Amino acid sequence: MMNSSPAVSIAGLRVKRGKVQVFDGLDLDLAPGRITGLMGPSGCGKSTLIRCVVGIQKVQGGTVTVLGQPAGTPGLRRRVSYSSQQASVYTDLSVGENVAYFARLFGLPSSEAERVVAAVGLADQSRQRADDLSGGQLTRTSLAIALLGSPELVVLDEPTVGLDPVLRAELWGIFRNLADQGITLIVSSHVMDEANRCDDLLLMRQGRIVAHTSPANLLLESGKSDPDEAFLELIRRDAAEPRHLLDTPDDAPDTAPRHAQEEER
Amino acid sequence: MRLLATAGRVLGQLRHDPRTVAIMALLPMLLVGLFAWIMPAQQFDRIGPMLIALFPFTVMFIVTSIATLRERTSGTLERLLTTPLRKVELLFGYEIAFGLVAVLQAVLVVTFAVYVCGLDIDGSLWVVGGMAVLNALMGTALGLLASAFARTEFQAVQFMPVFVFPQMALGGVFMPRAQMPDVLSAISDWLPLSYSIEAVQRASTGITGWELNRPLLILVGVTLLALLLGSLTLPRRTP
């Protein structure tokens, strides 16, 4: 199905966070050089999946291979960049100081820090302290750090949350630009109108992949005209008949641990 | 490079907080001045050096535990650990930054104690000042470790009295350790501040050689051990 080896390959992934079994045998391949949108209701496992790809999530079993190496190996730290949902910046430093610090950690010149600050439209705020920024500016500061250097895989957890439509369009322009350079992007979102901007879509629900498709196919499969409706339709179908898209053994309520007799590895 | 970048970043954070810098620089002097005023000269000569050593420890312990707790809770630590930064570079970045602040603190407080408050030290001023810096480095290392056991800043600030006051009581500030009940004296053998106090007392009374180096080596050992344990509390993968 894919021409080249996948950028991300996940097999039999099992993750437990607290008492909740988030993934129980997740399998997934992501094509390189494309923007994969990770969509799904909050709590469906988007962030956990992202953390697994970046290699900062403790896993109970299975393999996560990123760019041909196990996720989280030191060799990947320059090749994979990540921005978490929470803007992970030093609020007592200025925008410029934040980005410059991370640039130095990657051994990049200060011109590179200036480039990414400008790319996210914060050149005028560069000297402003992060705790004086608006929420959207803070998110963009965090995003700028993820754009540093020349990563091959960029993983962004809800990078456009709380941004106005103009900025969102600009950022998606940046993402598209990166993908055109052959960079693979994983972008999570719960704004369904962003689904159309992705090359591939991954619809998740309760730790399972409900659909892995393209935006056009999503509409086709669901018989709906907009992504929001299409997504709801697929969720509805999945809830009614959870086995029909993916082979998962249970449909227990969210509150209880989904697998009581979890065998330890 | 990454080490110095990290030290520079920590100092940059302090630079944006001039009030904290002012408190760090002036408070030890105020405290030493107060004790000099309260106490007869002879007693001040005994207590003064201990204050000079213990104050940087206490301040750096609390500042570092809050600073690293913030790193843990704000997501910046998680982010740092996805970059090429090594844990040892992060830890020593903090040590260098707060070590430099401690040097400034030590110069100010020793100068003030000797030339304004009339503290009479038999040993070398440099050794006493150096001891203040060493204690600050140990405070930084232990604060970093302690931050792993706090979930909130409220908890972190309360580690300070829990950790520091009993050690001061048992470490020989108020009563020589040799005169304590056997049980307490045995406990104090295991507390790092006992050796801080012992070292600074010996340095300020002009004792040199192994008598002085033994407690100093113990302090260096405690600092390195705390850093080692601290690095274990910075896992790249979290549940």
Q: What is the residue extent of each domain of chain A? A: 88-150
| pLDDT tens for each residue of A81-130 | 999 888 899 999 999 999 999 999 999 999 999 999 998 889 999 999 99
Q: Is the model's pLDDT at A1 over the cut of 80?
A: no
CB contact under 8 A, B238 and A57: yes
Residue B78, min C-alpha distance to chain A (Å) = 8
Q: Are B61 and B143 in contact (CB under 8 A)?
A: yes
Closest alpha carbon within chain A to B73: A88
For residue B206, what are its two tokens? 């002009």
CB contact under 8 A, B12 and A145: no
**DSSP single-letter state for residue A245:** T
The confidence score (pLDDT) of residue A242 equals 58
The confidence score (pLDDT) of residue A254 equals 40
**Average pLDDT taken over every residue of chain A:** 86
Q: Are A130 and A94 in contact (CB under 8 A)?
A: yes
Q: Which residues touch B193 (CB under 8 Å, ≥6 apart)? A: B54, B57, B164, B167, B168, B171
As a whole number of angstroms, the distance between CA B68 and CA B14 comes to: 13
Q: Are B188 and B180 in contact (CB under 8 A)?
A: yes
Of B5, B16, B238, the CB nearest to A101: B5
The confidence score (pLDDT) of residue A251 equals 41
The confidence score (pLDDT) of residue B178 equals 86
Q: Which residues of A touch B6 (CB under 8 A)?
A: 101, 105
Best to test chain A binding among B2, B9, B11, B74 (most A CBs inside 10 Å): B9
Average pLDDT estimate for A129-150: 91
CB contact under 8 A, A18 and B84: no
CA B24, chain centre distance (Å): 12
Is B193 inside a domain boundary? yes
The confidence score (pLDDT) of residue A260 equals 38
The confidence score (pLDDT) of residue A5 equals 86
As a whole number of angstroms, the distance between CA B147 and CA B136 comes to: 16
Query: Cβ–Cβ contacts within 10 Å for residue A102, how many?
Result: 27
Of B75, B83, B238, the CB nearest to A106: B83
- List beta partners, residue A13: A26
Q: Which residues of A touch B75 (CB under 8 A)?
A: 84, 86-88
Q: Is the model's pLDDT at A237 over the cut of 90?
A: no
As a whole number of angstroms, the distance between CA B132 and CA A239 comes to: 65
As a whole number of angstroms, the distance between CA A4 and CA A1 comes to: 9
CB contact under 8 A, A78 and B84: yes
Name the percent of chain A lying above pLDDT 70: 90
Q: Is the model's pLDDT at B224 over the cut of 90?
A: yes
Q: Are A9 and A161 in contact (CB under 8 A)?
A: no
Query: Cβ–Cβ contacts within 10 Å for residue B157, how many?
Result: 14
Q: Are A207 and A22 in contact (CB under 8 A)?
A: yes
| pLDDT tens for each residue of A170-179 | 889 999 999 9
Closest alpha carbon within chain B to A15: B239
CB contact under 8 A, A58 and B9: no
Is B239 inside a domain boundary? no
Residue A215, min C-alpha distance to chain B (Å) = 31
Q: Is the model's pLDDT at A245 over the cut of 70?
A: no
Average pLDDT estimate for A225-246: 75
Is B106 inside a domain boundary? yes
pLDDT band at A191 (very low <50, low <70, confident <90, very high): confident
Domain holding B134, by residue range, is 2-232
Of B13, B83, B84, the CB nearest to A92: B13
- CA-CA-CA-CA dihedral for B96, B97, B98, B104, to nearest 10: 100
As a whole number of angstroms, the distance between CA B81 and CA B91 comes to: 12
Helices B41-74 and B153-170 meet at what angle, rounded to 10? 150
pLDDT band at A264 (very low <50, low <70, confident <90, very high): very low
Sign of torsion, CA A134 A137 A143 A149?
negative
Q: Which residue has the tokens 């104090």?
A: B188
pLDDT band at A194 (very low <50, low <70, confident <90, very high): confident
Is B62 inside a domain boundary? yes
Q: Is the model's pLDDT at A244 over the cut of 80?
A: no
| pLDDT tens for each residue of B165-202 | 899 889 888 888 888 899 998 999 999 999 999 999 89
Closest alpha carbon within chain B to A59: B239
pLDDT band at B104 (very low <50, low <70, confident <90, very high): very high
Closest alpha carbon within chain B to A74: B84
Instruction: In chain B, count H helices and then E strands.
Output: 10, 0
Instruction: Look up residue B58 and give its amino acid.
Output: T
The confidence score (pLDDT) of residue A250 equals 43
- Three-state DSSP at B195 gives helix
Closest alpha carbon within chain B to A127: B16
Is B238 inside a domain boundary? no
Name the percent of chain B lying above pLDDT 70: 100
Q: Which residues of B touch A129 (CB under 8 A)?
A: 16
Lowest mean per-residue pLDDT among A198-207, A244-253, B9-18: A244-253
CB contact under 8 A, B74 and A88: yes
pLDDT band at B86 (very low <50, low <70, confident <90, very high): very high
**DSSP single-letter state for residue A94:** B
The confidence score (pLDDT) of residue A252 equals 39
Average pLDDT estimate for B79-97: 93
CB pairs under 8 A between A and B: 82
Cβ-count burial B76-114 (b if 16+ within 10 Å, e if not): bbbbbbbbebebebbbbbbbbbbbbbbbebbebbbebbb
- List beta partners, residue A24: A14
Residue whose C-alpha is closest to residue A209's, from A42, A46, A75: A46
CB contact under 8 A, B9 and A93: yes
**Window 78-97 of B, Cβ < 8 Å to A:** 78-85
Flag whether residue B16 sits within 8 Å of chain A, measured between CB atoms: yes
Q: Is the model's pLDDT at A2 over the cut of 70?
A: no
Q: Which residues of A touch B17 (CB under 8 A)?
A: 92
Closest alpha carbon within chain A to B67: A90
Average pLDDT estimate for B13-30: 90
Q: ipTM of this predicted complex? A: 0.89
Work out how many domains chain B is built from and give that number. Answer: 1
Residue A78, min C-alpha distance to chain B (Å) = 7
Q: Which residue has the tokens 């803070």?
A: A138
